[in-house]
Structure 1
Amino acid sequence: MKSVPGGIPAPPRRRRRWGPLAAASALALALSGCSLFPGQDSDPPETGAASADPTVVGEVPGELEPFYSQQVVWEPCEEEFACATVEVPLDYSDPGRDTIEIAAIRSDASGEAQGTILVNPGGPGASGYNIVKNAVEFVTSDTLREAYDVVGFDPRGVNRSSAVECRTDAEKDVAREQFIPAGATDEEALALLVEDARIFADLCAERTGELLGFVDTESAARDMDILRAVVNDPQLNFLGFSYGTQLGATYAELFPDRVGRMVLDGAIDPSLTSEQVTLGQAAAFEEALRAYVADCQSGDECPLPGTVDEGVAAVQALFASIEEEPQRAEDGRLVTIGTFVQGFILPLYDNANWPTLTTAVESALNGDVSDMLYLADLAAERSPDGTYATNATEAFLAINCLDYPMTSDPAQMAEDEEELVAASPTFGSLLAYGGVTCAPWAYGPVLEPAPVSAAGAEPILVIGTTGDPATPYEWSLALADQLESAVHVTWEGEGHTAYGRSNDCIGDIVDSYFENGTVPEDGVRC
């Protein structure tokens, strides 16, 4: 889950005008809209056809050689970038079966390029294409962009690449307004969840086809090795945020000898089960909420008075009121508890946006949920005209359903809910019963959680943020401990991920590592 600096724009409001905001986060999804991110001044990119250099491909099975040596045409796009489509196998166990397409976008180095850095912003399901198109100057420094071409790509199943398709935009709006009546019994509520999951799974299977069974993280990591070859790099240089760290760690485990300079920021522990991931996030978001409330109460106009415990209780009461009786926003759309919490969580990804959350909370306490819906729409990448910029929600679910075995046993899910509520009285119950979603999936899980070691890889830089709500700090320590060559760096701060939104200490470490290969001392704290 990656936060994207650049600012949450204020919605058009009649009653007040929101001040400028320093940074934005959209539940790890890159914000859409070119106007949010001014273009960089640069020469037009070099374009044309290029084949992978045989000297950088490395040893690959014969049936994969055509993919590694394919001719890729980079054409001018998006005003100042170059774009290309790369073919990869649908099924790596049977490369001759069918092919799919990976969409890539390149920002050329402003100086003499010493190679290419692939970027993944997280998710799973976030668009690496969009992160480069809309925000390359926010997620990378001038130093990095001078030394490297930066390539963003949409992983298989995502957005411009061969993509998962489930609901239309109108159907997404309808789904976001659905809610379980507060008076329903547990059995009735579970039955409604199960039926909704079945309908959704059927739509995905019907509209996506067999691609739905091949959007797992291991296949996406194998795609990255083909991308490495077609940009003519003997080793992969990679900057991965949040889920991007799982993608990068998977690549390192598969191809340790092809790891170049790799930064994994906001790390995921690949040894955790889906249930353990959810539990860790529940506890981390609860801590982030408490940090936000404390910060709010340090000011003069906080709508959550009293102690931190009392402020958190006020938030919980607000959630309960929305769950009991969903409210309509100014545009007439119904805001259910799911949508409301989606909007609430968005600013927790970056403490620079906590004042935005305060404004939305104050409005909601006064009976107007429009501000919270605006934030939820940003998180869902919904434009005011009702269109959705990407398929991030569908891709997120499709990838997770292949990556993680999940329990759908009602008794076990009930026990898990108790544990979630104990860890997070505010968010825990809302995170429960996730296994219902994947139970009717047309394709079963193909991966199992497992630790990684990437024995023989060059030094890998792992970064953790002490107050990270989406990828708890402990996960970064666990990943660094598993990777044999890892060096761990800590940012003592709030919010999700560090590079691009923290301080010069982190920025200088990452830039020096990429530019000069300088490996920091393990355990550095910023």
Structure 2
Amino acid sequence: MGRSQVFTSAFLALATLGAAVPMPGSRIASSRRGAAAQNTTGSITWGPCSDQFAANLTCANYTVPLDWSNPGNETIQLGLVRHEATDKSARIGYLFVNPGGPGGQASDLVSSIAQSPGVVNPEILARFDVIGLDPRGVGLSTPVQCDTDTYNRRVSFFPKTQAEYDALVAYNKAVGESCRAKTGRLIDFVDTISAVKDHEAVRKALGGEKINLLGLSYGTQLFSQYAELFPDNIRALVLDGNLQHSQGESSNLLIESTTYELTLKKFFEWCANSTTADCVLSGQDVEAKFVSVRDKAAASPIPAPGCDDTSCRANVTDEDLRFTVQSYLISVGSWPNLARALEQADAGNATLMSEANPLAVGDPYTDSSLFAGTAIACQDWDHAAASLADVLAKGTLGANFSPLTRGACQSYKIQTSCIGWPAPLTNPPKKIVYKGATKILQAQSTFDPSTSYAWGLGLHAELGDDKSVLIVRNGTGHTSYLSDGATTAAMNAYLVNLTMPEPGTVFDS
């Protein structure tokens, strides 16, 4: 769903960033670690980040209500990172970025940009203060925390018997209860609408300038819902890799699982026609190789000798494989690694496949992408299945329309992970109604394994031709901004100059 694929590796754009940008091994410390400046009344005071990071980054935190409907009671901390505009004489304003998820750390994206400035156009860094505000529950903000051992227990999300279904529901409840025990009442208030109101509070605290927003993947849901609630406070808004927060459960399964499988077939085609230097399976029947690995894993989990059930699982099931391959497809830069993972798994070593689906490791910052991703999704998306029959029906849908992957995708993982979740559904799917004067720029690739082209068209129809322009990248991969092609250039021209491309423009890069 255009999220950092938190349920399999990260709901999806974060995995894109991980492939395109070298993520730093060190983390920015929040104020709870004594590194970021505390907020002053009604404003934000910037201070140094931890000394593991470049001096051109500054950090802060800001206090907001836990419950925006009852703001006089408990509070939480928001953590944010800033890369200041390098040309202050030509500064345009603040550019808030979100890499996806839910659960993706915006602070990590800004940190990566600061350490690898060539990743984005220099004019963006020159003219904007780039802000990475971690949504509530995520990263530097007060994090969702859960019991690591409980979360890492293996359970089937494709139950075939009543006993397996009961085990799944019991697992979901145990994880949710552990999150409530370690996190407290925050677990009930991590929905996207609350995060939208947090962003607005930070905008005001930074001086009240009109906001510039760049949302990737799940970030398109976050920022389109911001646009609905605060339509008059936006200078520029880019939505890249669009998530349509209005579809029903079966529609989401059908749309995402089929676009995943379609992109997988593009991988097969690319690999078969590549040189062996690019793809180790060049010249082979790559689809047959995938099926071979899937069926071997179904017969008996394939050992992953490089893993020991701490950071990754010691073996890989066919279910693991079908979920994990989606994250490998997110960036074309990861396709050679996917080929190697399939080759090695077929020979009996699934370490590369297991490493792509990491476990929780006990670090609040790192694990928040997993824990908060689940918690946010369960408050944002329908998960009405209440019986084994309901889940089996979804499996039948996948088996018929996506026979290679059998319906495994992030939408399916969310819908089954949230059965029995203790927090209520508070931000249910609905169409976006945007009444602002600022025209929104949407970008969508045609073969996106996570946020389907169909969702891009659907969100554009909700916004309307008079409120948005949709441009298309004719190519593969999840989101386009970090691809540094013509689509990226069009987004940058809009952000800097408010130059809008012609509606219906299709780019090849």
TM-score between the two structures when normalised by the length of structure 1: 0.82
Change (3 A) 1:124 1:114: same
Which AA in structure 1 matches 2:424?
G
1:157 aligns with 2:133: no
User: 2:475 maps to what in 1?
Assistant: 493
CA contact (8 A) 1:73 1:84 kept: yes
User: 1:59 maps to what in 2?
Assistant: none
- Rounded to whole Å, the distance in 2 between the matches of 1:517 and 1:388 is 35
Q: Which of 416, 422, 427 is the aligned partner of 1:442?
A: 422
Q: Which of 480, 491, 495 is the aligned partner of 1:510?
A: 491
- Rounded to whole Å, the distance in 1 between the matches of 2:439 and 2:334 is 34
SS of the residue 1:237 aligns to? strand
Note the 1:248-287 alignment, pairs <5 A. 248-287=223-262
- Rounded to whole Å, the distance in 1 between the matches of 2:196 and 2:157 is 42
- Rounded to whole Å, the distance in 2 between the matches of 1:507 and 1:27 is 18
User: 2:328 maps to what in 1?
Assistant: 347
1:408 aligns with 2:365: no
User: 1:481 maps to what in 2?
Assistant: 461
Instruction: Please state how far the C-alpha of 1:342 moved relative to its aligned partner.
Output: 4.7
Equivalent pairs: percent with the same residue? 28
Q: Which of 53, 63, 68 is the aligned partner of 1:92?
A: 68
Instruction: Please state how far the C-alpha of 1:494 moved relative to its aligned partner.
Output: 0.4
Note the 1:40-189 alignment, pairs <5 A. 70-77=42-49, 78-80=53-55, 81-112=57-88, 113-136=91-114, 137=117, 140-168=120-148, 171-172=150-151, 174-175=152-153, 178-180=154-156, 186-189=161-164
- Rounded to whole Å, the distance in 2 between the matches of 1:478 and 1:441 is 29
CA contact (8 A) 2:257 2:407 kept: no
Change (3 A) 1:25 1:224: closer
Q: Which runs of 5+ in 1 are unaligned?
A: 5-23, 38-46, 52-68
SS of the residue 1:391 aligns to? helix
User: 2:448 maps to what in 1?
Assistant: 468
- Rounded to whole Å, the distance in 1 between the matches of 2:197 and 2:132 is 16
SS of the residue 2:478 aligns to? coil
- Rounded to whole Å, the distance in 1 between the matches of 2:442 and 2:179 is 35
1:257-316, CA deviations, whole angstroms, 9 ceiling, x for partnerless residues? 112101000011121134432321111110111000011111354666888xx6324313
Instruction: Please state how far the C-alpha of 1:469 moved relative to its aligned partner.
Output: 0.7
SS of the residue 1:371 aligns to? helix
- Rounded to whole Å, the distance in 1 between the matches of 2:271 and 2:361 is 28
- Rounded to whole Å, the distance in 2 between the matches of 1:161 and 1:399 is 14
Note the 1:302-313 alignment, pairs <5 A. 311-313=286-288
SS of the residue 2:385 aligns to? coil
Could you tell which deviates more after superposition, 337-346 or 490-499?
A: 337-346
User: 2:351 maps to what in 1?
Assistant: 370
- Rounded to whole Å, the distance in 2 between the matches of 1:268 and 1:200 is 26
Change (3 A) 1:274 1:258: farther
- Rounded to whole Å, the distance in 2 between the matches of 1:48 and 1:403 is 32
User: 1:66 maps to what in 2?
Assistant: none
Instruction: Please state how far the C-alpha of 1:402 moved relative to its aligned partner.
Output: 0.7
Instruction: Please state how far the C-alpha of 1:109 moved relative to its aligned partner.
Output: 0.8
User: 2:339 maps to what in 1?
Assistant: 358
Which AA in structure 1 matches 2:332?
N
CA contact (8 A) 2:324 2:356 kept: yes
Change (3 A) 1:429 1:510: closer
Q: Which runs of 5+ in 2 are unaligned?
A: 6-11, 27-35, 309-313
SS of the residue 1:412 aligns to? helix
User: 2:433 maps to what in 1?
Assistant: 453
Which AA in structure 2 matches 1:397?
T
Instruction: Please state how far the C-alpha of 1:511 moved relative to its aligned partner.
Output: 1.5
Change (3 A) 1:270 1:457: farther
- Rounded to whole Å, the distance in 2 between the matches of 1:335 and 1:29 is 26
- Rounded to whole Å, the distance in 2 between the matches of 1:521 and 1:25 is 26
Instruction: Please state how far the C-alpha of 1:144 moved relative to its aligned partner.
Output: 0.8
Could you tell which deviates more after superposition, 75-84 or 128-137?
A: 128-137
User: 1:65 maps to what in 2?
Assistant: none
Which AA in structure 2 matches 1:93?
S
- Rounded to whole Å, the distance in 2 between the matches of 1:28 and 1:299 is 22
